[in-house]
Amino acid sequence: MFCYAPRLKRNWFLVLVFILCNHVLLAQISVTSSVKNIENNLPVTDVSVQVINTSNGVYTNRKGMFSFDNLDANAILKFSKIGFQSFTIAVRSIEKVVYLTPEISALDEVVLRSFSSSQIKKIVPDQVYLSQKDIEKMPFILGEKDVIKLIQYTPGVQQATEGQSGLLVRGGNASMNLTLLDNIYLHNTAHLGGLFSAINSDFVHSLEFSKAGFDASYGGRLASVTNIKTLKAPDSTSFNGSLGLLSSKLTGNIKLNKKNGLLLSGRRTYLEIFKPFFGDSNTILGNDKNYFLYDFFGKHTVILSNKGTLETTFYTTKDNFKDQTKGRNRNLKWGNTLFGSTYNHEFSRVLSSITTISNSYYSFLFSDNEFPFDYSAKSTFNVFGANHYFSWKKEKSLFKLGAEFNNTNILPKKVNALIDESPVSIQNQDTYNYKTFSVFSDLETQLSKKLEAKLGLRLSSFFTKENSLIDEHHFFGVEPRISVKYQSKKNQAYKLSYQRLNQFTHQASISSFSLPADFFIISTNKIKPQISNQYSFGYSYETNGLQLNSAAYYKRVINYTEFENGSVNNLFSNNIYDDVLVGQFKSYGLELSINKKVNKLTLQGALTLSKTIARFNEINEGKYFAATFDRPVNINSIAHYKLNNRIEFGALFIFTSGQNYTKPADIRVINERPIINFEAKNTSRFPNYHRLDVSCTYSFKKKGRWNSKLNLTLYNVYNNNNPFQISYSTNNDVNDAFIEIKEEKDGLFPFLPTVNWLFSF
Identify whether 229 is part of a domain. Answer: yes
- 21 pLDDT more than 70: no
316-327 residues labelled b (16+ CB within 10 A) or e (exposed):
ebebbbebebee
Please calculate the CA angle 64-68-74 and round it to the nearest 5 degrees: 115
Report how far residue 370's alpha carbon sits from residue 510's, in angstroms, rounded to the nearest whole number: 13
**Number of independent structural domains in the chain:** 2
Of 237-241, 550-554, 731-735, the poorest mean pLDDT is in 731-735
DSSP 14-27: HHHHHHHHHHHHHT
| Predicted local confidence at residue 61, as pLDDT | 86
SS3 106: helix
Residue 220, Ramachandran bin (φ over 0: left; ψ between -120 and 50: alpha; else beta):
left
Average pLDDT over residues 466-484: 87
Q: pLDDT tens across 695-716, in order?
A: 888 888 888 778 888 888 888 8
DSSP 252-270: EEEE-SSSEEEEEEEEEE-
Same domain, 724 and 684: yes
Contacts of 195 (CB under 8 A, 6+ apart): 141, 142, 163, 246, 715, 749
Higher pLDDT, 172 or 739: 172
Decide which of 102, 134, 151 is a domain's last residue.
102
| Predicted local confidence at residue 456, as pLDDT | 94
Of 289-303, 612-626, 720-734, the poorest mean pLDDT is in 720-734
Average pLDDT in the chain? 80
Q: E-strand spans in 564-579?
A: none
Of 66-75, 192-201, 355-364, 649-658, the poorest mean pLDDT is in 192-201
Same domain, 514 and 458: yes
> In a 10 Å sphere around its CB, with 0-12 CB exposed, 13-18 middle and 19+ buried, how is residue 233 labelled?
buried
Distances (CA, A) of 307 to 135, 255, 351, 626: 30, 20, 11, 54
| Predicted local confidence at residue 113, as pLDDT | 37
Average pLDDT over residues 225-254: 86
Name the pLDDT band for 1 (thresholds 50, 70, 90): very low
Contacts of 141 (CB under 8 A, 6+ apart): 149, 195, 197, 652, 693, 695, 713, 715
Q: pLDDT tens across 577-615, in order?
A: 777 888 999 999 999 988 888 888 888 889 999 999 999
Name the pLDDT band for 290 (thresholds 50, 70, 90): confident
Q: pLDDT tens across 265-275, in order?
A: 998 887 766 66
Amino acid at 224: S
Identify whether 674 is part of a domain. Answer: yes
Identify whether 349 is part of a domain. Answer: yes
Percent of the chain with pLDDT over 90: 24
Dmax (CA) of the chain: 137
Could you give phi then psi for residue 23, rounded to 5 degrees?
-65, -45
In contact, 186 and 297? CB cutoff 8 Å = no
In contact, 380 and 534? CB cutoff 8 Å = no
| Predicted local confidence at residue 112, as pLDDT | 30
Decide which of 77, 102, 127 is a domain's last residue.
102
Same domain, 46 and 195: no
Q: Where are the alpha helices (DSSP H) in 453-576?
A: none
Could you give phi then psi for residue 207, rounded to 5 degrees?
-145, 135
| Predicted local confidence at residue 115, as pLDDT | 36
Amino acid at 241: G
- 552 pLDDT more than 90: yes
Same domain, 404 and 285: yes
DSSP 34-50: EEEETTT--B--S-EEE
What CATH code is carried by the domain that includes residue 45? 2.60.40.1120
- Give the sign of the dihedral formed by CA 346, CA 207, CA 297, CA 235: positive
Distances (CA, A) of 205 to 182, 222, 234, 373: 10, 26, 12, 47
| Predicted local confidence at residue 337, as pLDDT | 94
In contact, 506 and 522? CB cutoff 8 Å = yes
Residues written for the chain: 761
Closest CA to 368 of 318, 415, 437: 415
Identify whether 460 is part of a domain. Answer: yes
Identify whether 389 is part of a domain. Answer: yes
Of 106-110, 232-236, 483-487, 657-661, the poorest mean pLDDT is in 106-110
- Per-residue DSSP letter, 657: P
Same domain, 304 and 439: yes
Report how far residue 450's alpha carbon sits from residue 486's, in angstroms, rounded to the nearest whole number: 6
In contact, 521 and 580? CB cutoff 8 Å = yes
Name the pLDDT band for 478 (thresholds 50, 70, 90): very high
Identify whether 484 is part of a domain. Answer: yes
How many Cα atoms within 13 Å fall on the side-chain side of residue 226? 27
Higher pLDDT, 367 or 105: 367
Decide which of 42, 74, 102 is a domain's last residue.
102
Contacts of 74 (CB under 8 A, 6+ apart): 27, 90, 91, 92
**Residue 184, domain extent:** 108-760
Name the pLDDT band for 496 (thresholds 50, 70, 90): very high
DSSP 587-619: EEEEEEEEEEEETTEEEEEEEEEEEEEEE-TTS
Same domain, 58 and 168: no
Same domain, 125 and 94: no
Identify whether 751 is part of a domain. Answer: yes
Name the pLDDT band for 687 (thresholds 50, 70, 90): confident
Can you give the pTM of this predicted structure?
A: 0.77
Identify whether 11 is part of a domain. Answer: no
Q: Evaluate the omega torsion of the peptide bond into residue 372 and state whether it is cis, within 30 degrees of 0.
A: yes
- 281 pLDDT more than 90: no
CA dihedral 668, 673, 674, 678 (to 10 degrees): -70
Average pLDDT over residues 625-646: 86
Q: pLDDT tens across 418-429, in order?
A: 777 777 777 667
Contacts of 753 (CB under 8 A, 6+ apart): 712, 713, 714, 715
Name the pLDDT band for 480 (thresholds 50, 70, 90): very high
Contacts of 598 (CB under 8 A, 6+ apart): 545
| Predicted local confidence at residue 643, as pLDDT | 87
Q: pLDDT tens across 642-674, in order?
A: 888 888 888 889 898 887 777 776 666 655 555
Same domain, 38 and 143: no
Same domain, 591 and 642: yes
Higher pLDDT, 739 or 561: 561
Higher pLDDT, 126 or 177: 177
Same domain, 40 and 158: no
CA dihedral 153, 158, 161, 165 (to 10 degrees): -40
In contact, 632 and 682? CB cutoff 8 Å = no
| Predicted local confidence at residue 144, as pLDDT | 66
How many Cα atoms within 13 Å fall on the side-chain side of residue 726? 22
Same domain, 579 and 722: yes
Same domain, 95 and 112: no
CB atoms within 10 A of CB 384: 17
- 406 pLDDT more than 90: yes
| Predicted local confidence at residue 595, as pLDDT | 84
What CATH code is carried by the domain that includes residue 371? 2.40.170.20
| Predicted local confidence at residue 370, as pLDDT | 66
| Predicted local confidence at residue 342, as pLDDT | 95
